[in-house]
Amino acid sequence: MSGDWDEPPIYDQDKLYDTIEVLIEIGSARGVSAAQIALAYLIGKPAVTSVIVGARTEAQLTDNLASADLVLSDEEVTRLDAVSAEPLRYPYWHQAGNIADRLSPADFSLLGRYIG
């Protein structure tokens, strides 16, 4: 076993580290961990119905669970949306450009920022 871990695949390492930096900045400003910010961000997305925490210690679990009571501001969500946004792939670019009037709330949560 080589020790290399290739899951999940990382297509843009710079974007990954930029996202982590914003998570750390927001967490530092609020006095909470970057993990709490990441979990609160995901929990706040309309299309996300649950998140999985991967705590290895009781302290990590306690920290992760605290994210359930954390509500991010619109500005914080906008910052995280911008830094973590992936380019649209098919069929999403097609949906955003051609059937925006028929999108469900879950679809719109993914595609809304791409619709002019």
Residue-wise pLDDT tens digits, 16-74: 999 999 999 999 999 999 999 999 999 998 878 889 888 999 999 999 999 999 999 99
Same domain, yes or no, for 24 and 80?
Answer: yes
Is the N-terminal amide bond of 8 cis, ω within 30° of 0? yes
Same domain, yes or no, for 22 and 76?
Answer: yes
Task: Note whether residue 1 is domain-resident.
Answer: no
Task: Note whether residue 36 is domain-resident.
Answer: yes
Task: Note whether residue 3 is domain-resident.
Answer: no
**Structural domain tally of the chain?**
2
State residue 1's pLDDT score.
45
Which tokens is 33 given?
Answer: 């961990």
Which domain does 41 fall in, by range? Answer: 9-85
When pLDDT is cut at 50, 70 and 90, the band that residue 3 belongs to is low
Task: Note whether residue 22 is domain-resident.
Answer: yes
3-state secondary structure of 13: helix
Same domain, yes or no, for 31 and 66?
Answer: yes
Predicted structure pTM score: 0.77
Report, as an integer, the average pLDDT of 92-99: 87
Rounded to whole angstroms, how far apart are CA atoms 15 and 22? 11
Residue 22 φ/ψ, nearest 5 degrees: -65, -40
